[in-house]
Structure 1
């Protein structure tokens, strides 16, 4: 039974997270602005045509999912929220044109009969990933196949995730999209992807109910300062690339980053991706805060030597700038890349 309304009396003042994904809600009560401890608000797949202005008073809000609604525009105050770091808004009328354009980008079509399906490699909110082989005459090419579930997920819609994946292009820190699936017997949409080197592993687990918006790292995980710097450079590079292509990842978390011990990284999961519309720089600076929180988590797990103290201090200073609660004072990723390069040169 879908929820159609949210009574003001159902919102306790100490509310930390609220998940109302895939319902029929058209209006949120103004009283939600009184939930000053609210950190996570997930509203994808509803019928909202506006957000209450009182939501701007929720200064602790860090994660907001408003994809697949009926919003004609983003409110100006949203890009000024001091702690907002993870935002997903694709699948609304104001972003439809960009999404439709991206969905029509020319990429190779790979027919279902050309594939030999192998074991399942993993599963997320938006779909399942299988090992597969592409048959080309007598040759067989190993790859991965992501089959999308199609329904609304906690982040948004499969169609917008596919569009963002295709629009992201090629980058060393992205999993390469090889083609679009056609001819599935049940018309399930899918993408063919390069297989990830098994030496890569996921940096952290997703947030728990207790941690709310913070990833859960394995106990005792430690990195050298050099490896932390390499990982940060890789992540900053790929996010800068995405922003240049007018894409906001929306879920820049350690649990979406695959890493190798030598510092190489891959950024995955575009389920929360949105196309930058209008006020690009303020929205980019929201994602800078997500990067700053990732920096904080990695620096907390970093061992550095006494002769590296200056570089560590520089990184700590950059982390604080990225998390500045005055959004306009955060650096953009081009500057972040330059500062990380300076730190790398100092380590040489």
Structure 2
């Protein structure tokens, strides 16, 4: 039941001009810094991920709003498009991520535990993106220039105050939703209802509330939820037939006999999920592929929470990977004509490498992230 309400929360927030207001405020705050608009885009992507968790909407919103600004001030096309695609996919790992909810349900892991476990990897990913942009801007200032003084309004504490006013409402909603789970005040289902009500309150505060907004958000929620549960029904039928015909035993025997034992299983599993993520959505992978893998992980003594986070990080990378990454197509659909597909492909490569670096750190140093292996 948490899935429909979190989807509803994201759909309502999409219609409140939240992304536009956040980008304007962050642009004023960081605009004087080299690469400041790109850093602002990453931070806004983080807030949108924590508020809505809708990848496609985040990429499209930032592509429409921030890409023209970066191009206007002569940002490198590859950097601009890479930043937007990468920050737009943060909703895959930063709570309340829909994929974490689905993985928790499929794998029998408490969703609250997955949300807690995803915070540090998500923060590491955001930090890696920002550091890359700042280093890039330092060595290539012409490719990520600071905004001219004429483009930045306000001085002193005024930009900070505007940024605070823009950040405070979605941040409050995020704290209410996640805090209620982390401190045991509410279950994920109850916190999703808090998020839905909170999204309506934000729409009222932003002056965007109307019955049309509620109707459109509800209709979109029904469509997405129906799709998710239709796939769930089909995947359940497939799993039952697959199990009845002995398919599970074959997969289990194959994966258990891989060289390297745990490591062999994990590496092969991650490669399979990464490749499948190029072609099919995370919902299908969660309902069809994951049920075949997690029982083997459990037999091998692998921490299922850790395994779920690895899967989520992997699927996030697949959203970015050319030539079939979904985020690439989302951005190309709203990008100006001068942005070529090759610009987007080249732009995301550094961010894919950063994702692989963070994913590798979770694999090699699980204890740092609070996992056992």
- Give the TM-score, by structure 2 length: 0.26
Between structures 1 and 2, the one with greater helix share: 2
**1 or 2 for the larger relative contact order (CA 8 Å, sep ≥6)?**
2
